[in-house]
Chains A and B, each alone.
Chain A
Amino acid sequence: MAPQKIILRFGKDIADRPIIYRLVRDYDLVINILKANVDQNKEGTMVLELTGDNCDLGLAYLKTQGVRVQPLAEDVFRNEEKCTSCGVCTDICPSGALYIERSTMEVNFNSDNCIVCQICVKVCPVKAMEVRF
């Protein structure tokens, strides 16, 4: 079964609870945390990859706990006409989605590994990395 990518938002009242742990123990789901952040208001955001037969039950559980769930609709996209394969994004990209093919020194983008942190969008000198909603 293909993993689902979702964004979870935790209010400050629930940010300290072990909710994700229950997805694993009670619903037997495989989780892969791509990104997690708690801001100064103690509100949490998490980008999660979810795999398993009980995904729907797990998502229903999250909603009962007050977690707002939305599919990961943002995508980082490489505009190949603009990209000059300079390579400066490749050691900034935290997940290895952007990398250099050493034999040719061309920059490649494997969007499956992208965690949508969007650092590349900021550092790309020719603005070839774009966010799509």
Chain B
Amino acid sequence: MAIEKTYAEINEKIKSGRAVVLTAEEIISLVEEKGISEAARSVDVVTTGTFGAMCSSGVFLNFGHSKPRIRMQKVWLNGVQAYSGIAAVDAYLGATELPEDDPCNNNYPGEFRYGGGHVIQDLAARRPVCLRATSYGTDCYPRQEIETVITLDDINEATLFNPRNSYQNYNCAVNLSNRTIYTYLGMLKPGLGNAHYSSAGQLSPLLNDPYFMTIGIGTKIFLGGGVGYVAWNGTQNFPEIQKDAAGKGYGPAGATLSVIGDLKQMDANWLVGTSMLGYGASLTVGLGIPIPILNEEVMRCVAVTDRDLYAPIVDYSEAFSQRIPGNLGFVSYAELKSGKITVNGREVPTAPLSSYPRARQIAGILKNWIEQGDFLLTEPVKLLPSYKDNISANTLKIV
């Protein structure tokens, strides 16, 4: 008989401490040993995790009103500008924003030692942050300038809202040119000197629910060490099944998530300010999603291994920057994690950008929360689009 479980049934088991929860890594050996049906029958939830640089991250802040009041027109936190084209003392601080006096790549490769992501980490760590704001002054908001020190506890709201996180899959970046290049995937040595990848592979949230059978708007998740929710699909959400020129399939890629949560209950260990040499500042985000085992099909998806998941190898010296289609082939995460791959007949050393040990820790923490009965699963208000929706990317035309 087919196995069917509801969110309510699974939550009842969680509440009574009877739910069987495994991480996306642990489930692999169970399925190999017992098969899909038995695993689907005995396991209720599989937890995933990822810990990587996610540039499209930021925080909405409300600072509270000073006396006299100011309608903040420009806002800086530790010298990093936040967008304040919203209400009086609201602002959005983006992870990649840089101080105005940062030399950037004028001193190539720029170091980008401090940016929006670092301010977010400082806030999460409860460190004091310098707030400066200026304004033109109005009858109801007469103050024109303010400089003070805040902490996360002093302000009203700090809502982490990341428009594009948790990429389903990512390119494996190489450099075919004859000079070192500095990219958002790290320093790439000339002449296929190295290859960088950035995915938790078999632990990665969207590789474990590739067809969006469970993840949707309202899904409760691990975000930055606290609890968050899936808000919407991410920007540039183009779920697809990767194919080579001959039409052979290489598994899912392209989907993204938009996520939201209260920064005040997050932890600086899981929101880490990040500096990519020659590229810019960012925020490394810890994110984990629980997957309810509703049926055997969901179990089949979470049983995926690094051997079954593939990244396209892309040249970042030209093909990426010039948006030239195609790639140099596909490589499995099992090969990438071995430390070397073969590209164009050459052996190339590999290195990851996203931390697999931290991804494993996140899946373990989430598992623990659920086992303790502290974390119930939410049924999505609406599931997100999948590859079946054939969403295609628009490009920016220059007219």
Contacts and interface: CB of A to CB of B under 8 A. Distances in A.
Contacts of B344: none
Interface string A79-91: 0000011111111
Contacts of B337: 102, 105
A106 interface: yes
B351 A87 contact: yes
B186 interface: yes
B357 A105 contact: yes
A84 B272 contact: yes
A92 interface: yes
Nearest to A98: B351
Given A84-B358, A102-B338, A105-B337, A123 B352 contact: no
B356 interface: yes
Interface stretch (B219-227, B273-281, B324-332): B273-281
A22 interface: no
Given A84-B355, A100-B339, A126 B274 contact: yes
Interface string A91-124: 1100000001010111000000000000000110
A91 B194 contact: yes
B355 A127 contact: no
Given A88-B186, A92-B194, A126 B354 contact: no
Contacts of B339: 100, 102
B143 interface: no
Given A84-B272, A91-B194, A92-B194, A127 B351 contact: no
Contacts of A85: 355-358
B123 to A, nearest CB: 17
A101 to B, nearest CB: 9
Contacts of A126: 272-275, 284
B53 A125 contact: yes
B353 A88 contact: yes
A91 B351 contact: yes
Q: Determine which residue in A89, A92, A125, A127 has the highest number of CB atoms from chain B within 10 A of its CB, and name it.
A: A125
A89 B351 CA distance: 8
B113 interface: yes
B350 A91 contact: yes
Interface size class of B (residues with CB under 8 A): 20 to 34
A88 B352 contact: yes
Contacts of B273: 126
Nearest to A93: B351
A86 B189 CA distance: 18
A86 B200 CA distance: 10
Nearest to B273: A126
A126 B355 CA distance: 12
Contacts of B375: none
B355 A123 contact: no
B59 to A, nearest CB: 19
Interface string A31-62: 00000000000000000000000000000000
Nearest to B195: A91
B380 interface: no
Contacts of B164: none
Q: Determine which residue in B337, B352, B353 has the highest number of CB atoms from chain A within 10 A of its CB, and name it.
A: B352
Interface in B242-294: 272-277, 282, 284
B356 A105 contact: yes
A63 to B, nearest CB: 37
B196 A84 contact: no
B111 interface: yes
A86 B275 contact: no
Given A86-B352, A91-B350, A125 B275 contact: yes
Q: Determine which residue in A86, A92, A100 has the highest number of CB atoms from chain B within 10 A of its CB, and name it.
A: A86
B351 A92 contact: yes
Nearest to A101: B357
B351 A84 contact: no
A53 to B, nearest CB: 39
B113 A127 contact: yes
B385 interface: no
Contacts of B51: 84, 86
A125 B276 contact: yes
Interface string B105-140: 000010101000000000000000000000000000
19 contacts: A84-B272, A84-B284, A84-B355, A85-B355, A85-B358, A86-B353, A86-B354, A86-B358, A87-B351, A87-B353, A91-B194, A91-B349, A91-B350, A92-B186, A92-B187, A92-B351, A104-B357, A105-B337, A105-B357
6 closest residue pairs by CB, A with B: A105-B356, A91-B351, A91-B194, A87-B352, A91-B349, A86-B355
